[in-house]
Every structure is written in C-alpha cells, then in structure tokens.
Amino acid sequence: MSFSIILPTLNEKGHILKLIDEISYIFIKRNLNFEIIVVDDNSTDGTIETVKKYQEKKDFLKTIIRTDKKNNLAASINEGINLSIYEYVIWMDADFQHPPKYIDEFINKSKNFDAVIASRFLKDSERYFNKKHLKKEINENQSYLYNKICKLLFFNDITDYTSGFICVKKIFFKKYSLSGFYGDYFVDLIIELKKNKMKIDEIPFEDSERASGFSKTVVTINLNYIYMCVRYFFTLLRTFARFKFSFD
C-alpha cells in the first residue's frame, strides 16, 4: 500500500511543518511508501517559503504554488491528485482541525474499502467546541443543517457530506475530477462514488481547533453570508437534479 497526502494551504506558516512531521511519522513508523503534496494558493505569510526550505531535507515532500488563480479548494486538490503517484489519495485541512492520527485508521480501512471518510456526525464523533472554553462558529450550524438535508436527499448511510477529510483509491480519479466550491464539491464526490458502486466507509473522529491563523471558512452574518447560503441552496438543488437523472 502507498499513499499520497494532499494539503491545500493558505497562510499556514505557524503550523505547517509540525503537520508535515506528524503525517510523515505515521507512514515511516508503518514502513509504507508515501508523499506529501502541499498545494498553496499563493500564501502571503511565508508558508510556501517555509515549506520549500524544508523540502530540501525531505524527499517525500512536493509543492505546488497556484499563483494568479482563484482560491478554490476543489481545484487545489485536483492539482495535487494530478501530481500524485501512489495508490491511495488522502486530503485534509492543513490547520490541524483534521488530526493526523486518524490517518492510521484510513490505512487500516483502505484494505477493504475504496473510500474512507472521517465523519463529524457519527455516534462516536466529537466536536472541538463541546469543550467548555470554546465557542461554536456560525458556519457550524450551517454545516449541520446542510448535512441533514443531504442525508434526506441523497444517501441515508452517509453522515458527513462536507467532511473534506478522506482517503480514496487514486484509480477512481482517472475518469473523474472534483468540481464545485467548499459547500458542494464533496457532495458531488460522494454521489459519483456511489454511482460507480465504490465501497465507502465512514469513521468517527474528534476535530480540533485551528492550530494558528484564521480559518478560510469562518463567516459572519452579513449580506455575503446570506448570499453564500442562497448559492449553496440552489447548487444543492442542481446537484439533486443531476443525482435523480443519473440514478433513474
């Protein structure tokens, strides 16, 4: 078994090397072939300079700099997938909200499944904001509702349609590329996996606070937030229409 780990980054200088070290330790300990691909959306805080300097010491580390392109998560991951060389592809947030320790479970489950999703909404999952001193961000309510709707519209056996923390057999991407934005690219991916009769499993996990800096998806209630909600609603309707057409 061999794995390509894709880390989309935007201003992650404060913690990116620690994340790379923790991920690499898992594969070195298990004596597995791996690579880590950092796909940076033109960070301004020195993230890419920090990674490139570290890359000189680590032959498993690759970098892609997406200059003069719009910050788009799906497009970033696609570029990482295109550069990847190994049997399985993992992607995850680069801010420690997706703890690397769950990669061990991805490795174990990949022997029997085509895709393994880390879900925030399984019975044994835990949310970082359940700790007394932490507050839930506004977009967490939106995410919870969005996933409930997706479960009703699409597949009842999937709990997290916006996870963003997943391991997939790379062969799947020979005929498929990710498309969409933060709120819908993962939904489309799940539908495509199901359509192709890929074996999917979910694992519970406990997400964490962002290690440093600011989240790219934190929102405040304003006109832009309302616009985003409306856009995701209509995108979901279009996705559902495609879903019905492809499964009928």
Percent of the chain exceeding pLDDT 70 equals: 80
The full DSSP string for 54-114 is: HHTT-TTEEEEE-TTS---HHHHHHHHHHH--SSEEEE--TTSSS-GGGHHHHHHHTTT-S
Residues 195, 188, 106, CA angle at the centre, nearest 5°? 80
| pLDDT above 50 (res 177) | yes
Domain that holds residue 32: 2-247
**Number of structural domains the chain divides into:** 1
Residue 110: pLDDT band (50, 70, 90) is very high
Chain position carrying tokens 């290690």: 211
Q: Which tokens belong to 130?
A: 């359940």
46-55, 81-90, 172-181, 214-223: range with lowest mean pLDDT: 214-223
In the chain, which ranges are E strands?
2-9, 33-40, 61-65, 88-91, 115-119, 166-169, 200-204
Residue keyed to tokens 């880590």: 36
Mean pLDDT of 172-180: 95
Question: Residue 21 maps to which CATH number?
Answer: 3.90.550.10
